[in-house]
Amino acid sequence: MAKFVVHKRGFFYTDESFEPVDAKGSIAGIFSSLEEAKIEKRKQDIISIQRLGGENAVDFFFHNEDFDEILERLKKFYKSEYNIDIQDDYFFEFPESISSDNAERFLDILNLTFHDVVEYNDDAHLDPNDFNLEEMDLGEF
């Protein structure tokens, strides 16, 4: 039987934006079913986006090929939910306080995730120290 592990995703800052990397980060949970892991992944993604209050939102989609579409969706969202008009298309902050519902909306608009679900054999030994991305100068959220 397999086990499903929720790993934080690593990000590298390029001086323009945060870019995800193909490295498994910290373990956020270990589950016996894929469905349980997916539920926890979404919960952890919500917590991660809620921690971004005050960070430049553009840093998370600057190089996205759908930049203009994402920007327009965020402008509408900021106006409708926070009554904020975005003035600078390249710098605007996530709100300091983000509800769970709004966190889900941000995740959907940005098409962003901060975690991955990885399947391991049941007999795989997982040492949390093997997943320390800070040693590689990568950030986790």
Look at the chain and report how many structural domains it folds into: 1
What's the predicted TM-score (pTM) here? Answer: 0.90
In b/e form, how buried is each residue of 50-61, taking b as 16+ CB within 10 angstroms? bebeeebbbbbb
- pLDDT, tens digit (0-9, with 9 covering 90-100), for 38-83: 999 999 999 999 999 999 999 999 999 999 999 999 999 999 999 9
Q: How many helices (H) and strands (E) does the chain have?
A: 3, 3
Residue 59 in domain: yes
Q: How far is CA 50 from CA 20, 45, 104, 113, in A?
A: 18, 9, 10, 13
Residue 35 in domain: yes
Residue 141 in domain: no
Residue 42 in domain: yes
Residue 6 in domain: yes
Residue 111 in domain: yes
Q: Which residues form the domain of 12?
A: 2-136
- pLDDT, tens digit (0-9, with 9 covering 90-100), for 93-125: 999 999 999 999 999 999 999 999 999 998 888
Residue 13 in domain: yes
Residue 66 in domain: yes
